[in-house]
Structure 1
Amino acid sequence: MHIVAVGLNYRKAPVDIREKFTFSDESLPVALQQLKRTKSILECVILSTCNRTEIYAVVDQQQVCGHYIRSFLANWFQIEIGEFADYLTIYEDNEAIRHLFSVTAGLDSMVIGETQILGQVRNAFLLAQKHNATGTLFNMLFKQAITMAKKAHSETSIGENPVSVSYAAVELGKKIYGNFKNKNVMIIGAGKMSELTLKHLHANGVGKIVVANRTLQKAKELAGQFAGTFCSMGQLEEMLVEQDIDIVISSTGADGYVLTLEQMEPVMKKRKSKPLFMIDIAVPRDLDPRLMDMPNVYLYDIDDLEGIVESNLEQRKREAMKVDKLIEHELEMFHQWYRLLGVGPVIGALQEKANRIHQETMSNMLQKLPDLTEREIKVIRKLSKSMLTQMLHDPIMRIKELSAGRRGVEELDLIRELFALEDMLKEQARLPKDFLLESKPSESDDDRISPVNPVLA
């Protein structure tokens, strides 16, 4: 099995490409089920944010998995592969795991060290788990990535000096105006990003605040936190004029533009050419790109925010080096866990083979020596069992040591061949998962070779 990560992110794909590959919250469960049914994909998680759409998958055919995932994206979004293939990033095995750790810790974010991505990865994993799209590998890997990211933020200063996308939008506004005193701001959308943006604006002494949202109650609740005014999406043009708005910051989950060129032309006439700065931090974009061609309208999108807060980022970059070391440690821990996955079945097969040899030998002996007393049989059985247990002890310990090494998988393959365990392993694989738990002890269970826990022993 192999782990791959395939997707588009802000480093390689511009926003006009990324916005075409955004999964809505409503469509994700269906997309996960369809992806899980894709050939060669055994487990999968879809991460869809404003800066990235990435598919993480456990696959059984590394050579062709990229093709299958590209085909899934093309079919789902009805876009020819040739139109986006050059923008894709593909990570495999070790690099895919490292990439997930980096993404979750915020090292791969546009604003390094931001914490919002941690919650987004967590939600993506929990949704995939809920819809049975994950299994043994991803249940372990994503939990480890989330735990590692929390540790990174608590043990380093990677998350200090706020530089989230919303903070960067406010910093851009400050670069434009110097300060927000007496400046009126309209926030379109009432989600988490909008709330964070308003917190930064409020802390910077903004003048009037207007919150617009599709659900009026949410707009009212958010505006109420900052003594602001609220309105519906249908009142945008009216409020831009009446409230004498200086800056618009938009962050919704709308499928189309919330403000178009046609809507804004009469608005700008009524504003008598007063400048309007518009910052679009949504993906897909909320504001019609044609607005940047209008006189006195200054439009910025999420890609324009990169590099806005370099001073704070420098400190985060230094802290990122500490997180990199943590990632390398976690990477090795995952590999150790993964290598031990194969140990249990191999040790179990070896013990089972020894048990069967022991039982067959005892059965043959009793046929040839029918006059043995019960006490003699018990003594022979106990001594022969002890001999086999002692004989197996060192090989089992050695198996665990070898599996923990860098060539653990190859070493286990050699052990399977050396002890001819292939048939035994196939037989075990056909048993129900809870077979050993559900089975009642047999009369000959005291003859069995004592089990050795491959992880704890």
Structure 2
Amino acid sequence: MTIVAMGLNHKMASVEIREQTSFTSQEKEDALNIIDDHNQVLEGVILATCNRTEIYVISSNREAGTEFILELLSQFSTLNQKDLSKYLYAYFNLDAVTHLYKVASGLDSMILGEEQILGQIKSAFELAKEQSTIDTILHHLFTEALKVGKRARNETSINENAASVSYAAVELANKIFGSLDEKRILILGTGEMSKLTLKNLVDHGVEDVLVANRTFSKAKDLADDFNGKAIRWKEIEEQLNQIDIVISSTGAPHYIIRYDMIEKILPNRGHKPLFFIDIAVPRDIEPEIHDLSKVYAYNIDDLKSVVEANLKERKKAVKFVNEIIKKEVTAFDKWQNSRNAVPIIKSLRKQAEEIRQEELDRAFTKLDDIDEEEKNVIKSLTHKIVNKLLHNPTVQVKEFANIENNQVYLEAVNKLFDLDSREDE
């Protein structure tokens, strides 16, 4: 049996291509049903996110596995097989294991060390279990991949510190306020970066959201997305006194928030901090505001500098994550090899038990005058003798399974104990 992992990601294909190979929830179920019905594919899992679409199968051989996945992907894509194959990568056996472990650890993500992929792997795993397309090998592989991902994040700094502009803003806000619970946030403009930063702030405890935009309907749409309130553009100045965090991303050619505006409201704020995140180019917020007491203003370059510094720290952890992955791949290899020894060990023990029973029956026919208690003593004795005799051969068979060219050694055990011929009897 061969483990085959095949797919495409943000490194191999643009978002336009990835959109054409994405799976809806229903399509994932339909594709898993096709996997379940295929006679040369024994197991399958579909991992589909915005940045990757990957299919993992246990197949009779490499060729059958890759042909099946290519056909399956093209079936649920607008691309034909020839065009699709230009963007695909394929991994087999331990290379496939290594790839999945890297994905789970965040080493293969667009943002190094991001955590969201772990939940996505778990969801793919759970769906495959629900659809009954997963068995021993992929069950073990995906269980271990989730453990590897957790180990990478718990034992290294691969996911520490913000690694995106929006997360950098959240990190700075947390440092300033300690907690984002009960903080009031004002959004100026409704650009994509503002939306993403707002989402991350809300995910970290912000509940009170105001949105202002020159087009009021756009402000209302964004406010509704976060259970917030839209305000008119002319209301900005009067609202600033009650605001804790301002995110600004407009297309204005001049400063919207000026030094004199903020200086005027500070006496009424007591010692409450005021935090500005200026994501606009050109800038919306006069930078000198940062010089005011308890006022913090960061523009997009400031946030990018934080991200770059944090990514350097994350990159230092890559070496340690790879060490974890290397050890865990070796452990998976040993587990998989040990499975080759299981049928031999079962046959060996079955043979020994049959011989033990035959000899016990023969002995008991000659010992008519012994009672049940004495018979049990003899049964226990023979059982212990067999177990002790088989202990070392069992251990050795397991070790043979992890030797290169192990089939030669395992076949030797088969012949030594004549297991094949006894199975035929």
TM range (shorter): 0.5 to 0.7
Q: Deviations over 1:48-74 (max 9, x none)?
A: 111110001111222321011101111
| C-alpha spacing 1:3/1:348, structure 2 compared with 1 (3 Å) | same
Question: 2:321 aligns to what?
Answer: 323
Q: Deviations over 1:307-328 (max 9, x none)?
A: 9954432221111111111111
Question: 2:413 aligns to what?
Answer: 415
Give how far 1:38 is off.
2.9
Whichever residue aligns with residue 184 of structure 1, its letter is: G
| Contact preservation (8 Å) 1:105, 1:113 | yes
Question: 2:238 aligns to what?
Answer: none
Among 341, 351, 370, the residue aligned to 1:374 = 370
Give how far 1:193 is off.
9.2
**In 2, distance between residues paired with 1:41 and 1:166?**
42
Question: 1:360 aligns to what?
Answer: 358
Q: Deviations over 1:168-227 (max 9, x none)?
A: 999xxxxxxxxxx9851245999x997238779x9xx997479999xx8x9625142xx5
Question: 1:312 aligns to what?
Answer: 310
Structure 1 residue 184 corresponds to structure 2 residue 168: no
Aligned-residue CA RMSD (Å): 4.3
| C-alpha spacing 1:385/1:146, structure 2 compared with 1 (3 Å) | closer
| C-alpha spacing 1:381/1:211, structure 2 compared with 1 (3 Å) | farther
| Contact preservation (8 Å) 1:111, 1:163 | yes
Among 194, 211, 222, the residue aligned to 2:226 = 222
Structure 1 residue 117 corresponds to structure 2 residue 121: no
Whichever residue aligns with residue 401 of structure 2, its letter is: S
Give how far 1:423 is off.
6.5
Greater CA drift, 103-112 or 402-411: 402-411
2:3 is paired with a residue whose SS is strand
**In 2, distance between residues paired with 1:105 and 1:111?**
11
**In 2, distance between residues paired with 1:118 and 1:398?**
38
Q: Deviations over 1:405-428 (max 9, x none)?
A: 55556543442343233477799x
| C-alpha spacing 1:159/1:361, structure 2 compared with 1 (3 Å) | same
What are the equivalent positions in structure 2 for 1:153-192 lying under 5 Å apart? 153-164=153-164, 167=167, 183-187=188-192
Whichever residue aligns with residue 141 of structure 1, its letter is: L
**In 2, distance between residues paired with 1:189 and 1:26?**
32
Whichever residue aligns with residue 95 of structure 2, its letter is: E
**In 2, distance between residues paired with 1:307 and 1:21?**
35
| C-alpha spacing 1:307/1:124, structure 2 compared with 1 (3 Å) | farther
Whichever residue aligns with residue 222 of structure 1, its letter is: F
Q: Deviations over 1:277-311 (max 9, x none)?
A: 9xxxxxxxxxxxxxxxxxxxxxxxxxxxx999544
| Contact preservation (8 Å) 1:163, 1:313 | yes
Give how far 1:381 is off.
6.1
| Contact preservation (8 Å) 1:185, 1:246 | no
Question: 1:28 aligns to what?
Answer: 28
Among 189, 197, 200, the residue aligned to 1:196 = 200
1:57 is paired with a residue whose SS is strand
| Contact preservation (8 Å) 1:187, 1:211 | no
| Contact preservation (8 Å) 1:185, 1:206 | no
Greater CA drift, 311-320 or 99-108: 311-320
2:325 is paired with a residue whose SS is helix
**In 1, distance between residues paired with 2:34 and 2:46?**
12
Gaps of 5+ in 1: 171-180, 230-242, 248-275, 278-305, 428-457
Whichever residue aligns with residue 20 of structure 1, its letter is: Q
2:42 is paired with a residue whose SS is strand
| Contact preservation (8 Å) 1:184, 1:245 | yes
| C-alpha spacing 1:381/1:151, structure 2 compared with 1 (3 Å) | closer
1:109 is paired with a residue whose SS is coil
Question: 2:181 aligns to what?
Answer: none
2:31 is paired with a residue whose SS is helix
**In 2, distance between residues paired with 1:316 and 1:222?**
31
Gaps of 5+ in 2: 171-185, 232-247, 253-279, 282-303
Whichever residue aligns with residue 374 of structure 1, its letter is: I
Question: 1:92 aligns to what?
Answer: 92
Question: 2:48 aligns to what?
Answer: 48
Greater CA drift, 399-408 or 331-340: 399-408
Greater CA drift, 139-148 or 399-408: 399-408
**In 2, distance between residues paired with 1:7 and 1:95?**
14
Whichever residue aligns with residue 68 of structure 1, its letter is: F
Question: 1:340 aligns to what?
Answer: 338
| Contact preservation (8 Å) 2:188, 2:249 | no
| C-alpha spacing 1:219/1:207, structure 2 compared with 1 (3 Å) | closer
**In 1, distance between residues paired with 2:306 and 2:341?**
50
| C-alpha spacing 1:154/1:345, structure 2 compared with 1 (3 Å) | same
Whichever residue aligns with residue 332 of structure 2, its letter is: F
| C-alpha spacing 1:97/1:115, structure 2 compared with 1 (3 Å) | same
**In 1, distance between residues paired with 2:39 and 2:50?**
28
Give how far 1:342 is off.
3.6
| Contact preservation (8 Å) 1:32, 1:44 | yes
Give how far 1:160 is off.
1.6
Q: Percent identity?
A: 32
**In 2, distance between residues paired with 1:121 and 1:7?**
14
**In 2, distance between residues paired with 1:311 and 1:244?**
24
| Contact preservation (8 Å) 2:163, 2:308 | no
Greater CA drift, 332-341 or 349-358: 332-341
**In 1, distance between residues paired with 2:26 and 2:223?**
22
**In 2, distance between residues paired with 1:348 and 1:114?**
44
Give how far 1:399 is off.
2.0
Give how far 1:112 is off.
0.7
**In 1, distance between residues paired with 2:23 and 2:216?**
25
2:152 is paired with a residue whose SS is helix
**In 1, distance between residues paired with 2:217 and 2:168?**
21
Q: Normalised by the size of structure 2, how large is the TM-score?
A: 0.67
